[in-house]
A and B are shown apart, each in its own frame.
Chain A
Amino acid sequence: MTNTETVEKLASKVEPLSYASFKQTIRAFQRLLPVLIGVLLLAALVAQLIPKLMQMGLFGHGAWSDTLAAAGVASIATGQPVVSYILAGELQNAGVELLAVTAFITAWITVGVVSLPVEAQMLGWRFALWRNLVAFVFSLLIAWLTVALFHAF
């Protein structure tokens, strides 16, 4: 078999695969688009509420207190990681400290209180509980390290 034939044979195998993946990605994007628009609309609302929330006392009690509050809220919340980036970006724009914002992101993406019952049913309660608890502690630790390194460099 010549090189050209080999390349053509390979291309004939890869082409349908890449087309199928392209279609799969478009479908994934179609599923995601309403969520993304909804989250942006919600984030725009929340962003305006954050200064009021700070006045009401959820944030604005010092770095670590805010960090714990942000990580706690994010642990209960659920959704795509991109949602946490958008909300965290708005939190930061509203004046919440970077430490709290980072804890918000890390807790959102690593701790899953909502998915805990399913995880426990599949992998065992002990495993699921400890995994989420350790992830919560790590979210605070990683937030602190990220901010320290970010300011250092």
Chain B
Amino acid sequence: MPSEKPRSRKLPGGWLFLLGVVALYLALIPFHAEFIQNSFQRFLHMGRDLLPVLGLVFFFLWLFNLLGNLQEKAARLTDRDSGLRGWLLAMTMGVLSHGPIYPWYPLLRRLMHKGTRPALIATFLYARSIKLPWLPVMAHYFGLSYMMILTLLMLLFSPLHGWLVERICRVANQRY
């Protein structure tokens, strides 16, 4: 029977961050009590405004977790001869991928070594900045039309960004 891994008692980073911010509030109270009180009032107001949007965010996150298994399969379809399919897949995968970027780097490195175009990697990374589940929050702050324009532009610019990065890297490789 394999021995059980000892459970880490380390506090997760998110809680440490929250504790840090609370400590900052507490530390500032003796010097700027009114400022902290106003900040806390504003925090409550912001939280109340954001609460209904978080329900929508939860639903989208759940939906994306359901689709999560498709992401790695799609990543394998972006070889050098993928053409338009490759660009579309890089964009789609970028938009659908979620979570922190760090776990993606090893996969991207493997794909790059196996012949995936750097342009498609850059396109994927750029399209990743579109976080569908969080868009309701952006719409909440800036309005639906603003959110749609910005998201559409980011999506349209992602292949252009990828193409440009690949081209610049190629020129730089030839020079040096």
Q: A18-29 CB contact bits vs B (8 Å, 1 = yes)?
A: 100110110011
Binds B, one of A1-9, A55-63, A64-72, A107-115: A107-115
Contact A123 B134 (CB under 8 A): no
Contact B126 A34 (CB under 8 A): no
Q: In this assembly, does A118 line the interface, its C-beta being within 8 Å of a C-beta of chain B? A: yes
Top 10 A-B pairs, shortest CB-CB distance? A89-B141, A109-B129, A44-B43, A122-B105, A34-B18, A21-B65, A34-B14, A38-B18, A44-B42, A25-B62
Q: Which residue of B lies closest to A89 (CB)?
A: B141
> What residues of A have a CB within 8 angstroms of the CB of B157 in the complex?
138, 141-142
> What residues of A have a CB within 8 angstroms of the CB of B102 in the complex?
115, 118
Q: In this assembly, does B115 line the interface, its C-beta being within 8 Å of a C-beta of chain A? A: no
Chain A nearest CB, measured from B55 CB (Å):
11
Q: Which residue of B lies closest to A152 (CB)?
A: B149
Interface centre among A112, A141, A150 (most CB of B within 10 A): A150
Query: How many inter-chain residue pairs (CB < 8 Å) link A and B?
Result: 158
A-B residue pairs in contact (CB < 8 Å), sample of 21:
A25-B58, A29-B58, A37-B18, A38-B14, A40-B43, A44-B43, A44-B46, A45-B39, A48-B38, A85-B137, A86-B137, A106-B154, A115-B101, A115-B102, A123-B118, A126-B172, A130-B172, A134-B164, A142-B153, A145-B153, A150-B146
Q: In this assembly, does B106 line the interface, its C-beta being within 8 Å of a C-beta of chain A? A: yes
B interface residues, Cβ below 8 angstroms from A: 12, 14-15, 17-18, 20-22, 24-25, 35, 38-40, 42-43, 46-47, 50, 58, 61-62, 65-66, 68, 101-102, 105-106, 108-109, 112, 118, 121-122, 125-126, 129, 131, 134, 137-138, 141-142, 145-146, 149-150, 153-154, 157, 161, 164-165, 168-169, 172-173
Q: In this assembly, does A99 line the interface, its C-beta being within 8 Å of a C-beta of chain B? A: no
- The 8 Å CB contact of B112, one of A123, A146, A153, is A123
- The 8 Å CB contact of A86, one of B14, B118, B141, is B141
The tally of residues in A whose CB lies under 8 Å from a CB in B reads: 56
Chain B binding surface SS class: helix
> What residues of B have a CB within 8 angstroms of the CB of A31 in the complex?
12, 14
- The 8 Å CB contact of B145, one of A82, A85, A145, A153, is A153
A29 to B7, CA, bound (A): 21
Q: Which residue of B lies closest to A33 (CB)?
A: B14
Contact B61 A134 (CB under 8 A): no
